[in-house]
């Protein structure tokens, strides 16, 4: 299932960030490996993205991040 949210933060050194979902209150974490666009450029704070939630138990479950 595809979800939408806005990038809250991204630490380029650690490769970790957080998304504010449009439909729920909590923040969702993601890793650089979850970025699906070609150039792997870091996400921009405030940018709207689509994402999916991984089945794996993780502190950063958002995967397949794409520009929305």
Q: How many domains does the chain have?
A: 1
55, pLDDT greater than 80: yes
Residues 50 and 63: their CA atoms lie apart, in Å, by: 9
Query: Quick check: 16 and 10 in contact, CB under 8 A?
Result: yes
- pLDDT tens digits for 20-45? 999 877 899 999 999 998 877 889 99
In a domain, 49, yes or no: yes
68, pLDDT greater than 90: no
Mean pLDDT value across residues 1-13 = 95
In a domain, 18, yes or no: no
Query: Quick check: 45 and 7 in contact, CB under 8 A?
Result: yes
Query: Where does the pLDDT of residue 46 fall: very low under 50, low under 70, confident under 90, or very high at 90 and above?
Result: very high
In a domain, 12, yes or no: no
Query: Quick check: 7 and 15 in contact, CB under 8 A?
Result: no
Q: What is the pTM of this model?
A: 0.88
In a domain, 17, yes or no: no
In a domain, 23, yes or no: no
């Amino acid at each position: 299932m595809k979800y939408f949210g806005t990038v809250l933060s991204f630490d380029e050194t650690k490769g970790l960030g957080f998304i504010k979902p449009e439909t729920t209150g909590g923040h969702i974490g993601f890793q650089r490996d979850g970025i699906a666009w070609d150039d792997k450029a870091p996400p921009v704070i405030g940018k709207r993205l689509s994402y999916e939630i991984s089945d794996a138990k993780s502190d950063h479950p958002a995967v397949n991040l794409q520009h929305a």
